[in-house]
Structure 1
Amino acid sequence: MIVPDISQNAVAVADHYDELDPIYRRVWGEHVHHGLWTTGRETPGEAVEALVDTVGDRLGLRPGQACVDIGCGYGSTARRLAVTRGVRVTGFTLSTEQARYAAARAAPEVDIQVRDWLTNGLADASADAAWAIESSEHMVDKLRFFAEAHRVLSPGARFVICAWLAETGASGWKVRHLLEPICREGHLPSMGTREEYEEMARQAGFTVTGYEDVSRRVARTWPICAGRFVKALFTDRGTRRLALGARNRKSFLGIPRMILAYRTGAMRYGIFTLTKAGENGR
């Protein structure tokens, strides 16, 4: 497990997203996560929605199901799946700014809450499906992240995680100059490998029923974000003022690091499909 030399907590994560909210929306858009390219001809918007739809497919969502979006950001993924799959979604975010933006775009069957997933307050076996798109990285206690998902999900339910992962056996220079700084600058309490995630899932009681490494299909997200960020710096005074004066301004150093981390293989992007055993233990 990669752990930054400066410890991170939920308060720091919330502050990060609240302060940089205008830049995140300008650079990332309403979906604060990678895009997934298949043909290479997709627009960034189409690629982002393709990742959401992939998650929905792997969950096998059915109309009327109660779902949980762990780390829902601006609620865009929750809204898309609620509309396209006919499900009900409860989303959790640490950011009041993200929740405020989501509230202004409220959708039927979508409830966004400002609350830490590790103390989510949901009843046992109350959800039919759950997903976490690039939010597990921000969890201070990853074992509890998995355990809470297992507790909240009903027997037989699926849990899909899209995660930034460290290369298994990453060499020392990759850890020192790429992975550890990415954790520190991005307010990630830790970054695990595929094997560590799968072991934590099993300890929580899940069966790992699927895994795919889609690093090559998502990596172009970062050059696109870099281009948008540089353009915003030159054309928008508000963006420039915030980027240069923000408490969390060092986060932007992570953009070139992410590009290099993908190109060197230091970082991977994995999609896990987990299943909670059914009532008969299967």
Structure 2
Amino acid sequence: MIVPEISQNAAAVADHYDELDPVYRRLWGEHVHHGLWTTGRETPGEAVEALVDTVGDRLGLIPGQACVDIGCGYGSTARRLAVTREVRVTGFTLSAEQARYANAHPEPGVDIQVWDWLANGLADASVDAAWAIESSEHMVDKPRFFAEAHRVLRPGGRLVICAWLAGTDASGWKVRHLLEPICREGRLPSMGTREEYEAMGTAAGFELTGFEDVSRRVARTWPICARRLVKALLVDRETRRLVLGARNRSSFLGIPRMILAYRTGAMRYGIFTMSKARKDGAPREPGKLTQ
């Protein structure tokens, strides 16, 4: 597990997203996560929605199911899946600004709350599916993140995680100059490897039913972000003021680090699919509603 030299907590994560909210929406839009390219011809907007749709596919969502979006950001994933899969979604975010934006763009069946997932207050076995798109990295206690997901899922429920991962063999300068600063500047309390995520999921009681390394298909996100940021700094006085005056402005130094981290293999991007066993001991089959 990569741990930053300066420890990060939930308050630091909330402050990061609250302060940089206007910049993120100007540069990234409503989806603050990677895009997923298949043909290479997708627009950035199509690519971010492709990642959301991939998550929906991995979950095997069925109309009417109760779902949880862990670290929901602006609620865009929750809204898209609520509309396209006809499910109900409760989203959790640490950022009051993200929740304010989400609740200003309501969608029937979507409820966005400002709450820490590690103390979410949901009842045991109360939801059918859960997902975390690039939010597990911000969890101070990752084993508890998995334990809470397992607790709130009904037997047969699925969890899909899209995660920034440290390369299994990353060491030396890759850790010192790429991964540790990415954690510190991006307010990540830690960054795990694929193997560590799988071990934590298994320890919480999940069965790993799928994993896909999509690093090559998401990596172009960061050159796009870099170009957008440079252009905005050059031509948009308000963005320049917001970025240069922010307490969290060091976060933007992470963009070139992310580009290099992907190119060197220091960092990977993985999609995990995990299932909670049914009462008969078997995971739910794709497309079948838990009884």
TM-score with structure 2 setting the length: 0.96
Cross-structure match for 1:56? 56
Cα distance in 2 for partners of 1:27, 1:168 equals 31
Q: What secondary structure, in the 3-state scheme, does the structure 2 residue paired with 1:242 have?
A: helix
Superposition pairs for residues 238-277 of structure 1, below 5 Å? 238-277=238-277
Cα distance in 1 for partners of 2:171, 2:274 equals 29
Cross-structure match for 2:198? 198
Cross-structure match for 2:103? 103
Deviation at 1:148, TM superposition (A): 0.1
Following TM superposition, the consecutive aligned residue runs of length 4 or more in structure 1 with deviations greater than 4 angstroms are none
Cross-structure match for 1:40? 40
Cross-structure match for 1:141? 141
Cα distance in 2 for partners of 1:245, 1:105 equals 28
Cα distance in 2 for partners of 1:153, 1:235 equals 48
Post-superposition Cα deviations, 1:163-199, rounded to whole Å, max 9, x if no partner, equal: 0000002121100000000000000000000000000
Cα distance in 1 for partners of 2:234, 2:175 equals 32
Cross-structure match for 1:88? 88
Q: Is residue 2:116 matched to residue 1:152? A: no
Cα distance in 2 for partners of 1:220, 1:117 equals 30
Cross-structure match for 2:173? 173
Cross-structure match for 1:74? 74
Cross-structure match for 1:5? 5
Post-superposition Cα deviations, 1:123-163, rounded to whole Å, max 9, x if no partner, equal: 00000000000000000000000000000000000000000
Cross-structure match for 1:17? 17
Cα distance in 2 for partners of 1:60, 1:281 equals 19
Deviation at 1:106, TM superposition (A): 0.5
Deviation at 1:228, TM superposition (A): 0.7
Cross-structure match for 1:208? 208
Cα distance in 2 for partners of 1:143, 1:90 equals 22
Structure 2 residue runs without a partner (length 5+)? 283-291
Q: What secondary structure, in the 3-state scheme, does the structure 1 residue paired with 2:46 have?
A: helix
Q: What secondary structure, in the 3-state scheme, does the structure 1 residue paired with 2:182 have?
A: helix
Cα distance in 1 for partners of 2:228, 2:278 equals 46
Paired residue type of 1:251: S
Cα distance in 1 for partners of 2:49, 2:70 equals 17
Q: What secondary structure, in the 3-state scheme, does the structure 2 residue paired with 1:18 have?
A: helix
Q: What secondary structure, in the 3-state scheme, does the structure 2 residue paired with 1:246 have?
A: coil
Q: What secondary structure, in the 3-state scheme, does the structure 2 residue paired with 1:197 have?
A: helix
**Percentage of identical aligned residues:** 85
Cross-structure match for 2:188? 188
Post-superposition Cα deviations, 1:100-141, rounded to whole Å, max 9, x if no partner, equal: 000110000000000000000000000000000000000000
Cα distance in 2 for partners of 1:96, 1:213 equals 32
Cross-structure match for 1:223? 223
Comparing 240-249 and 142-151, the one that deviates more? 240-249
Deviation at 1:232, TM superposition (A): 0.9
Q: What secondary structure, in the 3-state scheme, does the structure 1 residue paired with 2:22 have?
A: helix
Paired residue type of 1:183: C
Structure 1 residue runs without a partner (length 5+)? none
Cα distance in 1 for partners of 2:121, 2:238 equals 38
Cα distance in 2 for partners of 1:200, 1:235 equals 46
Paired residue type of 2:98: Q
Cross-structure match for 2:235? 235
Cross-structure match for 2:286? none
Cα distance in 1 for partners of 2:47, 2:250 equals 27
Q: What secondary structure, in the 3-state scheme, does the structure 2 residue paired with 1:157 have?
A: strand
Cα distance in 2 for partners of 1:103, 1:68 equals 16
